[in-house]
Structure 1
Amino acid sequence: MPRLSAPIYLDYNAGAPLRPGARDAVIEVLKDTGNASSVHANGRRARGRVEAARDGVARLCGTGARSVTFVSGGTEANMTALSRVWQDGGNPVYLDKLFISAVEHPSVMTGGRFAVADQVIVPVDGDGVIRLDALRQSIEGAEPGLVSVMAANNETGVIQPLAEIGAIAQENGHFFHVDAVQAAGRIQIDMEGWQADAITLSAHKFGGPQGIGAIVSRSTSRSPAPLMIGGGQENWRRGGTENVAAIAAFGHAAEDAQSDLDAVRHLQDLKSRLEAGLKSVCQDTVIFGEGADRLANTTCFAVRDLPAETALIALDLERVSVSSGSACSSGKVSVSHVLTAMGVDEALARCAIRVSMGWDTRPEEIDAFLELWPAVVDRLNPKARSRAA
């Protein structure tokens, strides 16, 4: 097996490398002292950094800065959005049901502040796209509730028809939340076009630091009840002293991601090269979600009888970082609920591997991965290549 001269990181959907501007922002803030709620010069300087970052995140989302609330990351942002109580024009609205797709991130699948009995799971088709007919049937005539659907799937990269989902939700008097954690910085966010009442973000998916995210409302008068209650930080929408260093870096990463949005499209060419190369090695390679609109950076594939867990170890020994379609918990590998919802059989689902690229991915890294992959297949399952010959 060929040896690589440098490690290759192809797991951007788990976390992207920190962008240089974001790294510089963290260092600059950590050299300083100041609570963004203090009125002295140090506090005002910290406040200025928070508000500059709020502007940057708002531009990424195409909305006003007042709509952005900083939280600790994507999970807290989703938990905040999944509230049974929303404000609408200053009046509380109590929501009856939560409607989610069968392929949501675990932080949404838990249901947030909705009881299990009040959650409705809407099925998807074989490519992982929500069935609009099933969604409409679920919510028509129902009491006002919350529809929560991810913009793009973290495992397959499949993009949901958000404008159509938003229209169905609004026509039937429901609130609409979009988990945009994997989409931000990879496709244009269009809250108006999606008719989304709120979207959620996590900075580390597009080059910001870990541990910082945001919930962004389309209207400041239409938003979920706070999850974290404390002081008056974040306009009373999220209590707790602001993490100024992380917020400042988040803002820089958001601005860079927005500027790079056109350049990100070059990843589509790399994805096409990758998928063609995978199929040339094993013609029966399965690309999950291949028939749907997908993020330019994500490929989730499998070769039957080539377990992902073993392949990941082999690749890691060669200093290549990719991910599995399965979720690991307490040392146990479980079959992906996303692939199960798509109708993928368990044996094939256990072979799923995810390659995800990003702002610092270079063509030679994809070429190096494709150079390594045949040797991995030959070592772990020689019959796979002969089967496809």
Structure 2
Amino acid sequence: MHYLDHAATSPLRPAARAAWLEAADAVGNPSSLHGDGRRRRAIVEEARERIAAALGADPAEVILLSGGTEADNLGVKGLWWGRGGGRIVTTAVEHHAVLDPARWLAQTADATVHESPVSPNGSVDVDAFRTALPGAALASAMWVNNEVGAIQPIAELAAAAKEAGVPMHCDAVQAVGHLEVDFHESGLTTMAVSAHKLGGPVGVGALIARRDAPLSPLLHGGGQERKVRSGTVDAAGAAAFASALEEAVRTRQGEAARIAALAARLADGIRAAIPDAVVRGARDGYAPHIVHAVVPGASSEAMLMLMDASGVAVSSGSACTAGVVERSHVLQAMGHSAEESRSAVRFSLGWSSTDADVDAALAALPDAVSRARAAGQ
């Protein structure tokens, strides 16, 4: 199988697997005071320090939790409740882990939500974002869009939020490992990170939160993780997360160039094979690991199944519910029609990607598109 779906989840790195196995052999609850508990706590705190160092943060700013979705929910709901409610400023192309909590607060509480528009390339309208900030409870924008790979001007957006006195959250799940991410330099208040997007295990991640971030907890219980994320901390998961993150950051420069070269070859090959496809990625303004194509007349679901039957794993990038690909809100916000928003395929690369993966994708795509178009007639 040729795996080109790293943006959904990346294969576990050997270093992360080894770290998990070693830490999993330890016994004890990290909150316990006996020797076993203290040794388990030492694993957690060492991992926290390593994660902080890799992300340009202080260890006290690393809140360990279950992954990107929980981190986004804590960043949005936690800041909103901590600020006493009000307006939420975000973008129309955010991950559902940001948009859905914001819209839920609008439906169930007294929140109002401003979703700033984006350009046809997926870049947020900075002026519209800035204009909506005064008096807002919080702002949120993702660093790299998970569907099309558009890179947002996070430093500029965070500076505007700071000037307006508004705390800002960022979903950095797709950025870490491919772009330089420095929490302190970014000017953000909170930032979501997930281990399994960079070769760590599923079920662990972090919210990086400034010490003065006005967070209200989603979970109540033992008061772990600065009293904003109760629950026994996954020591083995934290150790594996730290190992995957360190390796991703240490090799990022060389890997970004390698992956970008693969992505450029893939994008050029798609354009040559499917001339009417709208292909994004592999150039300035987009992350190096995502190539996205809108293919008129071919349903996402059909293309994905046909590619899979040819031994190539890809995605539409948009949400799937019970195995059915939903219409992409990102593509609609970028100006695509409802039909086009159901006709996309996302190729995403990572640490294990090879030339053979690109070759297999380019070999399988033309027939998959032809058959998907024929099935839709």
Work out whether 1:130 is the aligned partner of 2:121. Answer: no
Q: How many residues align?
A: 371
Aligned residue runs from structure 1 range 239-318, under 5 A: 239-265=230-256, 266-288=258-280, 293-318=285-310
Deviations 1:328-357 (A, max 9, x none): 213443210000111111222221000000
Q: Does 1:17 align with 2:11?
A: yes
Q: Which amino acid aligns with 1:21?
A: A
Counterpart of 1:8 in structure 2: which amino acid?
Answer: H
Partner residue, 1:76: 70
CA contact (8 A) 1:84 1:94 kept: no
The letter of the residue matching 2:47 is A
Stretches of structure 2 that go unaligned for 5 or more consecutive residues are: none
Task: Please identify, of 276-285 and 106-115, the stretch whose mean Cα deviation from structure 2 is larger.
Answer: 106-115
Deviations 1:228-279 (A, max 9, x none): 2211322323111111121111111111111121122111111110011111
Question: What amino acid maps onto 1:317 in structure 2?
Answer: A
Change (3 A) 1:110 1:377: closer
Aligned AA for 1:233?
Q
Deviations 1:54-109 (A, max 9, x none): 1121122111111100011111111111136579xxxx643421111000011111
1:3 corresponds in structure 2 to none
The answer to whether the aligner puts 1:341 opposite 2:333 as a matched pair is yes
What is aligned with 1:386?
A: none
Secondary structure at the aligned position of 1:45 is classed as helix
Q: CA contact under 8 A between 1:300 and 1:353: conserved in structure 2?
A: yes
SS at match of 2:366: helix
Deviation at 1:372, TM superposition (A): 2.2
Name the counterpart of 1:180: 172
8 Å contact 1:127–1:289 — kept in the other structure? no
Given that residues 36 and 43 in structure 1 are in contact (C-alpha distance below 8 angstroms), is that contact kept between their aligned partners in structure 2? yes
**Aligned residue for 1:99?**
89
1 CA distance for matches of 2:21 and 2:120?
46
CA distance in 2 between partners of 1:121 and 1:319 (Å): 38
Change (3 A) 1:190 1:31: closer
Give the Å deviation of 1:305.
Answer: 1.2
Query: 2: distance between equivalents of 1:197 and 1:48?
Result: 27
Residue-by-residue CA offset, 1:264-318 (whole Å, 9 max, x unaligned): 2111111110011111112222114788611100011022112221111111112
Alpha-carbon distance in structure 1 between the residues aligned to 2:177 and 2:234: 22
Tell me which residue corresponds to 1:372.
364
Q: Report the 3-state secondary structure (helix = DSSP H, G, I; strand = E; otherwise coil) of the residue aligned with 1:150.
A: coil
- Equivalent position SS for 1:82: helix
**Deviation at 1:379?**
3.8
TM-score when scaled to structure 2? Answer: 0.92
Distance 1:169 1:72 in 2: 27
Q: Identity of aligned pairs, percent?
A: 38
Counterpart position of 2:100: 110
1:4 paired residue number: none
Shifted more, 322-331 versus 67-76: the winner is 322-331
Bigger drift between 235-244 and 114-123 goes to 114-123
Moved more, 300-309 or 272-281: 300-309
Name the counterpart of 1:234.
Answer: 225
Q: What does residue range 199-214 of structure 1 map to in structure 2 within 5 Å?
A: 199-214=191-206
Q: After TM superposition, list the pairs within 5 Å mapping 1:35-46 onto structure 2.
A: 35-46=29-40
Q: Flag the 1:290–1:342 CA change in 2: closer, same or farther, 3 A.
A: farther
User: Are 1:165 and 2:157 an aligned pair?
Assistant: yes
Which amino acid in the other structure matches residue 362 of structure 1? T
Distance 1:191 1:85, change over 3 A: closer
Pairwise CA RMSD: 2.2
Per mean C-alpha deviation after superposition, the further-off stretch among 25-34 and 207-216 is 25-34
